[in-house]
Amino acid sequence: MEAILLGTGCPVVHPERGGAATLIAADNAKILIDCGSGVTQRLVETGIKGAEIDALLITHFHTDHLVDFYQLVISSWHQGRDRPWRIYAPRPVLDHIEAVMAAWEAERAQRIDFEQRTSTIGFEIEQTEVAGGDVFTVGDIEVTAVEVDHGPVAPAFGFVFRADGQSIVHSGDTAHCPALIKAGQGADLLIHEVMLHRDAPPGKHRSAKTMDNVATYHTLSSEVGGIARDMGARTLTLTHFVPPEFDRAALIAEVGETYDGPIIIGEDLMRIDLSRRTLSWRHIHQRIL
């Protein structure tokens, strides 16, 4: 399996960090986790078309994780998508997707009628409501849904991916979550969100209460190393940085106080290949794990 970080940002817009999105890929499966802002552009940058996605998993009902859903659908149709969308998500997300498809129905009908393309199957949606403990397969990848703790946003999910004796855990958005640690035991790669509370002080548009509340449903930089340690993860990759700008060296040092494995600061378009045990990003190509 390979993990490609398509968007490592948060709701705070940043030119180098797109909205939440990660691709898990194997020889016969491409699974997209979330479709935050800019995901279609990031996919094209990797050389992978949205039309090729075998399954879309949405972790929870927050805008920064699904705001580009319809852009993904329409751009994939233009790329010649030849099958329905297979979507796994909590019920609030599925209801939202139905509403989005309905909102664009008239525009879609006009486009279909005028452009006279050979197929409209790429507009069809096959929905599956996710519950904690669900197990399903996409190609040769087995996926386990884990209900996590994202405060008032419920349900919210992380996912464990297994194939060829390897495993990848993706936390979604969550506070410290024992269920995720248990489900991901011995993971080859843990991809986990992180909040750097010290780098997100109160300001003009956010009170101290605001930041304290946000911190309660995310994982703090002081906690994430312990989570990776307790999971027994071989490598930890950090993503969904709140805020999107921070002191990288300080973060590595802090996480390293409780976790002695490799720590990767995730960046958009970074690729981590478990089979080859390599990390590739821009001009960097090196062995890890």
CATH code of 109's domain: 3.60.15.10
Average pLDDT, rounded, for the chain = 95
pLDDT tens for each residue of 38-52: 999 999 999 999 999
For residue 190, give its domain range.
Answer: 2-287
What is the pLDDT, as a whole number, of residue 274? 95
pLDDT tens for each residue of 148-199: 999 999 999 999 999 999 999 999 999 999 999 999 999 999 999 999 977 6
What is the pLDDT, as a whole number, of residue 254? 97
Please, are residues 163 and 138 in contact by the beta-carbon 8 Å criterion? no
Number of structural domains (the chain) is 1
Q: Give the pLDDT means over successive 10-residue stretches in the chain (289 positions).
A: 97 95 96 98 96 98 98 97 97 98 96 92 97 98 98 97 97 98 98 84 70 89 98 98 94 97 97 95 86
Statement: the pTM of the whole predicted model exceeds 0.85:
yes
What is the pLDDT, as a whole number, of residue 199? 61
